[in-house]
Amino acid sequence: MARQERITQSLGAVLLLVLLMGAMGCNTLKARSDLNKGVQAYKNAKYDQAIQYFKEAVSLDPGLVNARLYLATAYAQQFVPGVDSPDNNKSAEAAIDQYQEVLKLHPGREQEINSLKGIAYLYLQMKKFDQAKEYYRKALQMDPNDAELYYSIAVIDWTQVYQPRMQLWAEQGLKPTEELKSEKACQKLKDTNADKINEGLQALDKAVKLRPEYPDAMAYLNLLYREKAHIDCGDPEARQADLKTADGWVDKSIFTRKELEAKQRGPQGITVPSHQ
């Protein structure tokens, strides 16, 4: 009797396992179906509908990386850069949360890089500059030959040095192009900006080495050398040297942009289609 009872219990356990596996299989199939429906809605710019499909797919299969990536992207599409409102920031934070969940799943290299870039970009647009740089650096560890990552870090550096300088100039009653005369104010500016200026210049130097035809990076080299000139207060030779270097990058940026536009137009002014 006891033996028969054990056999019955074992059969019951096996049956339960089969039922659970069947349910998991159904959930997996349903999750992929919802993912496909969400992708279609996303392509049609129906982002609210897409989000619902992606959320359902994630609920059914939490390990479905592509569903989480699409969910993050759909949330990011609803975020409007420059609008500081609770609802708008909520969309960015929801996107960041999903990218973070993707990273926890140890995805493939491309998915990991895209998630890191997505987080960095959203933090940048939310003006959370230190967090943005943190994730751009993490992306660089994965892909050290991506010129745009160096450029993005430099853009943040310039933003972080330009704002306090303009505030200081306003306090000193100076026009934007005027030179700082106060030694105390000059030292304050150096303490605040020097490290970021150097970081930005090094990042842009790397960017243009990786991509010699990069006019945007050249334009920011101009801007950062002008910021460097502003902390050269008290050293007129260094200031003039930095301004001369800045002017050189302006010229190179303009020339490179014209060259790229000419290449795109092709012979006899024919526009060459992009195959990116």
Look at residue 274 and tell me whether its pLDDT is greater than 70: no
Report the chain's mean pLDDT, rounded to a whole number.
Answer: 88
pLDDT in tens, 152-182: 999 999 999 999 899 999 998 998 878 888 8
Q: How far apart are alpha carbons 196 and 186 in whole angstroms? A: 16
CB 56 within 8 A of CB 102: no
Q: How far apart are alpha carbons 263 and 85 in whole angstroms? A: 43
Q: How far apart are alpha carbons 158 and 231 in whole angstroms? A: 13
Q: What percent of the chain has pLDDT over 70?
A: 87
| Domain ranges (residues) in the chain | 27-131, 145-263
94 token code pair: 């929801």
Q: Is 206 exposed, middle or buried (0-12, 13-18, 19+ CB in 10 A)?
A: buried
The whole model's pTM is what? 0.83
Look at residue 18 and tell me whether its pLDDT is greater than 60: no
**Options 1.25.40.10, 1.10.3720.10, 1.10.10.10, 3.30.200.20; which CATH number does 27-131 get?**
1.25.40.10
Look at residue 66 and tell me whether its pLDDT is greater than 60: yes
Helices (H), 173-274: 183-210, 215-230, 236-265
Residue 202's pLDDT is: 98
Backbone angles phi, psi at 61, to 5 degrees: -140, 85
Residue 175's pLDDT is: 87
Give the CA count within 13 Å in the CB-facing half-sphere of 36. Answer: 6
CB 255 within 8 A of CB 212: no
Residue 181's pLDDT is: 84
Pick 273 or 147 by higher pLDDT. 147
